[in-house]
Structure 1
């Protein structure tokens, strides 16, 4: 991070993966069976999904993560630093540690994941013993609280938190204690209902609104809903009707887009529509990180589709005044091998 340019817009830390995505599965394979897919893509995953999505909006993005010194780690570091312009000065390369690898089997609007890896060589608190000032931090909270998070919040960094799938499906309510440090919480509907012990997204939202200033719940094909206690706004928006190729990382693209819109000072409904649009555009391509549309992808959709459809134009007309005059070059999308 260059001190002369001020604090980063977005600070991130978390586990990085090398993602290999197989698409076009008609159905999942059964034991002893081989299924050929219609497409394959690869690229950085995990925390990289959030970092790339944020950087493609022109946000100054700083990532603290651990790279293995293997092929996958070297590849991911090169892509993030040289191609995407992400600041990796807080990251470390761990000799002898293997970068985790995830194989995603993508079907329609969902995917199944198979991952191989070991715990990272450095914890988040070791990477960020004294977190630098930042406008926002995008984090995945875990059952074990991270000390750096409290330090960052105390320094005035706005914390935007997500949470991963609980493989035990116990959904411990203690995890929600960390929301007192957060400005916003953005789980999906299954996670939100699980942790709040409720039976509908609306009920989960009401429960979460008592714990954090901004509560957002993503509902896949049903869109998203949110409440912002700082402004008194409530909003619910539908998802776009989009044919999905790969849903890997769509929630991360949503989160980074919501942060970008929040930094822009947008109304809640516009923030939700923008994030839902970006997530929808991302699922049309392979892999979460390199599928993020950025301003170039948003501008292209608006000028070729959104502004020409009366219904979409009414819903997304706010983009006309918010898309930068220069949305930047077309982003690099993942190498894809079609069948």
Structure 2
């Protein structure tokens, strides 16, 4: 049951118009870095995302709206189908006997072939999304592109990849007149085309390698600048930490000074309270002394009064005698 469920196609429908496919191919033909996106440096992914957003906005004007991920799948599948057409043409043309010839590529397929050959990003038909039924919108006529051909087998793909990746071998050129079995004209044309294709593939690989080296050097330069900024930031942070430590020491010293001043103030306040208590005590004693003095003065006055009264009575008594 697990195998049967895995082989069951997931029925989906991707709709696009002829105008959208034409605009997609035209945009990719003028933006090779976008067609080369899977080989780009990770630092430039933001730039590629911006280009995909711009392309999606352009394509929205010519048909149904899609997400960037869906347009990436459309572009990938388009490359896979053209890749399969190339493999089919090569297989039919190189078949022994050559009873029939494969239909030639149309204009749009030739443009896609030029793009994927220039950026060396042909892709594999096996990476095409499985279970997707590619249909066109009914609003516009379908794109003039035969996509109903069967995909080549794995052996044919490997054989074709090996033929394309072989570098041209250097060696002494042998004139055709000196050959024991001179080839026919069609074989000469075929050998010349293969030689030109190999030389073009070699130059494209060298160009790609040179571009990758430049991107790697640019990435290294950017990384060095980032590291330099990081080191300067670390130095600034270290200086700030040092200044903060000195400020904390000064603040601690000020706190100790304030604590000493507070202790002195508390001791002075306690001494002031003691002096006030002593002054209150002396004031109370003084008040008591004043009261005592005032009472003694009253008694003295009374004694003087009694003495005077007694003296007057004595005088009166003496006058009667």
The two structures have a TM-score, normalised by structure 2, of 0.24
Larger Rg belongs to: 2
The two structures have a TM-score, normalised by structure 1, of 0.23
Instruction: Name the structure with the higher strand share.
Output: 1
